[in-house]
Amino acid sequence: MVAARGRCRAAVWQSASVRTPAHAGRRRDRDAAGHAVLRAACGVVLVVAAALLVAWVVKALLVQVFGIPSGSMRDTLVEGDRIVVSRVAPRFADVERGDVVVFHDPGGWLEPRAVPSHGPVLDAGKRLLQGTGLLPEDDGEFLVKRVVGVGGDHVTCCDAEGYVQVDGVAVDESPYLPPGVAPSDFAFDVTVPAGTLFVLGDNRSDSSDSRVHGGAVGGPFVPVDDVVGTVVAKVWPRLERVPDGAEVFAGVPSPTG
């Protein structure tokens, strides 16, 4: 009996000694596979985080994408266009006459509107992508118009030929006004304060711009500090440069304000 128990113990010990290395090997394989998956997941997270950081830096310093929601800038920009805006101006360069600019509502220019919700997860994702510049801004907080007057300019309309005058010089805006659209359907006479802009939509017959916002909170002028940047190109539905219209104002004296 004692001998039999001894033989059983020996068999068990031998069996354990045979199985243990195999089990340990399988555990090592599983652990190695788990570590590999974890390393791969961490790598993906780091790549995504780096891409978002680069996108955020590019948006903050260089360019940003916006959507066009209305027809006030036809035919230069139409509803549904996606535009690239250079953020270099006004931080590192002057905003000039003829530039097409995107700017924050200076106060009372836009009617309040409800932003549709798609649920907390999708809304958070949208805010993240807009914050990094990977999704166009189109939430109703921004406007896009063309600069016609800068600080110190005296802008009037219209002269005997129907043109806008800037500092006494008539400007022919036909390069960007839609065919048959007049420079303005009503008269105005303003002097642009220093540090602000006088802006008009290219589609003057359907543009709520500096001509009509004298009674708004911010008045008819846009503070240069409210400018996000200048429009340089359309990227959707086609890729093309957006001309700045500088040649229209080539004969106007340099601004004094």
For 13-47, what is each residue's pLDDT tens digit?
A: 344 444 455 555 666 666 666 667 777 666 666 55
- Which of 59, 86, 145, 207 is catalytic? The answer is 145
Q: Is 145 a catalytic residue?
A: yes
As a whole number, mean pLDDT of residues 62-74 equals 90
Q: Is the pLDDT of residue 160 over 90?
A: yes
As a whole number, mean pLDDT of residues 155-176 equals 97
Residue 64 tokens read as 């940003």
Q: Is 126 a catalytic residue?
A: no
As a whole number, mean pLDDT of residues 230-234 equals 95
Q: Which residues pair with 165 in a beta bridge?
A: 156, 170
Residue 249 tokens read as 């104002």
Residue 181 sits at the vertex; the CA angle it makes with 255 and 85, to the nearest 5 degrees, is 55
pLDDT greater at residue 221 or residue 62: 221
- Which of 59, 72, 184, 210 is catalytic? The answer is 72
pTM: 0.73
Q: Rounded CA gap, 35 and 30, in Å? A: 9
| pLDDT score recorded for residue 1 | 44
| pLDDT score recorded for residue 110 | 86
What confidence tens digit (pLDDT) does each residue in 210-227 have?
999 987 777 899 999 999
- Strand segments (E) across 44-191: 63-67, 82-86, 100-104, 142-150, 154-157, 164-166, 169-171, 188-191
Most confident segment among 49-58, 81-90, 113-122, 155-164: 155-164
